[in-house]
Amino acid sequence: MQKIVRKKQLNPEISLIEFEAKDLAIAANPGQFVILRVNETGERFPLTIYDFNCEKGTVTVVCQAIGVSTKKLCALNEGDSILDVVGPLGHATKVKNIGKVICIGGGVGTAEAYPIAKAMQREGNDVEVIIGSRIKDLIICEQEIREFCDKVYVTTDDGSHGRKGFVTDVLRELLQKDTYDMVFAIGPLIMMKMVCEMTKARSIRTLVSLNSIMIDGTGMCGGCRIQYSGEAKFTCVDGPEFDGHLVDFNDVMLRQERYKSKEKSALDHYEKQCRIGLK
């Protein structure tokens, strides 16, 4: 059981949750994630490590309430406990002095971009951050990022905060004016795909963090399988960071669509696929 010591509502949909996990905090690094289960009837789901404090023995995650289990987590308060947390999982970001770096966060992906941008800045890199969301109320972590980064660009689809447009609009302008050594992109799949198409044309190394559907986090279930440079990889054990120019985004997006349900549950869809396989 991991006790929640701090909860902050970032906006109506997204909560910041800090919980006790001493061993996890000591071992954690930027870019890694945890898989947690709220209660005995809850499903296992992954969340990127937003922050960790070795002295306090705590780990912080940011969660968007969009499904049954994430809504359960966001409904908890300080003093409540999470049933179990496994981690840190995945490969940590290789933080080193690279040069000029752009970190891009889309939606809740901004919470994942934050620790990477902060770590890269700490290593002496010239870091610029682009964050975006649909509307002003869904922008997160802006002030936290501004505390260590002077070059922060904010976009909203409707122009309610920052400039109207998408993160790729800002990226295009930056790439036209200057040269960069690396780009990190974390957010919706279509956003990461567009970013990679823009940077590939300029041969700029680009890393993306893939938050595919995960169950066990050890590569056994195969739920997070992707096509990477023509080979099958698992985001939980081979990632979550990958060279975006080698990711088959069309395949990843198709796989995610299979888990979405409009009228039928994911279980019904799974059963249907099994029956087709038996014919």
Alpha-carbon span 267 to 182, nearest angstrom: 40
Q: Indicate whether 43 and 149 sit together in one domain.
A: no
For residue 198, give the H/E element and its range. Answer: helix 189-200
Q: Indicate whether 40 and 159 sit together in one domain.
A: no
For 135-149, b/e burial (b = at least 16 CB within 10 A) is eeebbbbbebbeeeb
Percent over 90 (pLDDT), the chain? 55
What is residue 57's predicted lDDT score, i.e. its pLDDT?
93
The predicted model gives 88-101 an average pLDDT of 90
pLDDT digits (tens, 9 = 90+) for 196-230: 999 999 999 999 998 777 777 877 888 888 889 98
pLDDT digits (tens, 9 = 90+) for 162-176: 899 999 999 999 999
End-of-domain residue from the set 44, 70, 89: 89
Domain count, the chain: 2
Q: Indicate whether 252 and 125 sit together in one domain.
A: yes
pLDDT digits (tens, 9 = 90+) for 101-155: 999 999 888 988 999 999 999 999 999 999 999 988 889 999 999 999 989 999 9
Give the CATH number for residue 186. 3.40.50.80
Q: Indicate whether 67 and 109 sit together in one domain.
A: no
End-of-domain residue from the set 89, 120, 135: 89
| Amino acid identity, position 143 | Q
Q: Indicate whether 239 and 167 sit together in one domain.
A: yes
Q: Indicate whether 209 and 151 sit together in one domain.
A: yes
Q: Indicate whether 61 and 151 sit together in one domain.
A: no
Range of the domain at 83: 2-89
Question: Of 9, 113, 16, 3, which is closest to residue 60 (Cα–Cα)?
Answer: 16
Strand locations in the chain, DSSP E? 2-9, 14-20, 33-37, 45-53, 58-64, 81-82, 84-89, 100-106, 126-133, 152-156, 163-164, 182-186, 205-209, 225-228, 231-234, 241-243
Q: Indicate whether 64 and 202 sit together in one domain.
A: no
Q: Indicate whether 79 and 104 sit together in one domain.
A: no
Residue with tokens 């010239």: 126
Q: Indicate whether 122 and 223 sit together in one domain.
A: yes
The predicted model gives 71-82 an average pLDDT of 93
Mean pLDDT of the chain: 87
Q: Indicate whether 156 and 249 sit together in one domain.
A: yes
Total residues belonging to the chain = 279
